[in-house]
């Protein structure tokens, strides 16, 4: 999901009283203003995301790295702010072991994940849960040194994850925040860029 904005209407409004020569500098000035506004929107979104994701241990700078900007150009006058990144392992959300399972703070609230446990996985410690219904079945090794030997199947285990930055980025509150940033910041940035270009 991405948030994009263009400023064609705003530019028409702002250039009514400019001369023909002055109008020639508008696309480049507007494009620079759009890019500055997109940077501000990304920063504000990164500050808001931790509260929506939960206690993941990631700072706002960590979220900021997952939010990319596709810059505006004078011929497009459109900037895009988009989030990328995989889901965050549940153990990052202040996970704590209890008798009934692991408690973690994903999605902004503390929750008990029944039947889960902490263990070391392929990529370090994580929160895991046993799945499947094959436990107790007897199987036989088909190849190798132990061919022919029998063994009992245990439950497979899967690691649990919390939300990712891209998922939470779709929250309407994030989009509303960025719309407010655009309405507030773009006119100021555009005016500064026009003034600078006319010097």
Q: What is the pLDDT of residues 126-173, one digit of tens each?
A: 999 987 655 556 666 677 777 777 766 666 788 999 888 888 888 888
What does the alpha-carbon distance between residue 89 and residue 163 come to, in Å, rounded to a whole number?
A: 8
pLDDT attached to residue 167: 82
What does the alpha-carbon distance between residue 1 and residue 4 come to, in Å, rounded to a whole number?
A: 10
Please list the ranges in the chain whose pLDDT falls under 50. Answer: none
pLDDT attached to residue 84: 84
pLDDT attached to residue 33: 93
Burial 51-90 (b: 16+ CB within 10 A, else e): ebbbbbebeeebbbebbebeebeeeebbbbbbbebeebbb
């Amino acid at each position: 999901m991405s948030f994009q904005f263009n400023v064609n209407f705003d530019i028409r409004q702002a250039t009514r009283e400019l001369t023909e020569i002055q109008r020639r500098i508008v696309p480049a000035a507007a494009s620079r203003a759009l890019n500055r506004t997109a940077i501000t929107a990304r920063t504000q979104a990164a500050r808001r995301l931790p509260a929506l994701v939960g206690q993941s241990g990631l700072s706002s700078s960590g979220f900021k790295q997952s939010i990319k900007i596709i810059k505006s150009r004078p011929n497009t006058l459109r900037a895009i702010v988009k989030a990328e990144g995989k889901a965050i392992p549940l153990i990052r959300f202040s996970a704590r072991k209890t008798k009934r399972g692991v408690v973690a703070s994903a999605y902004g609230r503390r929750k008990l994940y029944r039947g889960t446990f902490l263990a070391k996985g392929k990529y370090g410690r994580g929160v895991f849960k046993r799945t499947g219904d094959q436990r107790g079945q007897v199987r036989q090794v088909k190849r190798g040194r132990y061919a022919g030997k029998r063994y009992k199947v245990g439950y497979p285990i899967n690691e649990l994850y919390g939300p990712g930055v891209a998922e939470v980025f779709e929250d309407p509150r994030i989009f509303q925040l960025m719309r407010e940033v655009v309405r507030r910041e773009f006119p100021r940035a555009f005016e500064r860029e026009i003034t600078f270009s006319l010097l």
